[in-house]
Amino acid sequence: MSNLKYCQGPHCHTYNTQDRLKGSKDNKTYQTRRRSAFYYGGGNFCCLRCQDDWFTKYGTRAVDHFGRITEAKHLTEENAWFKDYDWRIDDRQNRYFFYNGITKERRPLTEAQYRDSNYTLNTGE
Ligand SMILES: [Zn+2]
């Protein structure tokens, strides 16, 4: 029917803003925000406050569920690649690049590769 989705903030409906006030004339209530797209928390929250509310309520359980970090991770050559761009370069082909934080090596990247969040040179965690 519609592609609208609800903000996942557990207290979203308690924030008294005009856009949350819905319903017929004599039966208005503050309601959870509903939109076609949200810009916080992976598209799940209408604002940072709602995202933070969710983490306050569920964060510890979520971390335990998905795996708590119990020892230090190490940055090595294999996982030190990160994407960057230089807005001063006019040539779009050479604007985007990988940069290795350990070796300082720089490798060219297409704009599509830059925007593809699954595209990486990193082989370790
Ligand atoms: Zn919300």
What's the 88 CA to ligand 1 centre distance in angstroms? 38
- Pairing assessment for the beta strands 21-22 and 106-109 based on DSSP bridges: unpaired
Q: Which two tokens stand for residue 30?
A: 């503050």
What's the 10 CA to ligand 1 centre distance in angstroms? 8
What's the 117 CA to ligand 1 centre distance in angstroms? 26
pLDDT range class, residue 1, cuts 50, 70, 90:
low
Q: Which two tokens stand for residue 76?
A: 């090595």
Environment of ion ligand 1 (residues, CB < 5 A): 7, 9, 12, 33, 46, 50
Mean local confidence (pLDDT), 76-86 = 93
What's the 17 CA to ligand 1 centre distance in angstroms? 11
pLDDT at 93: 67
Q: What is the pTM of this model?
A: 0.69
Exposed/middle/buried for 62, CB within 10 Å: 0-12, 13-18, 19+?
A: exposed
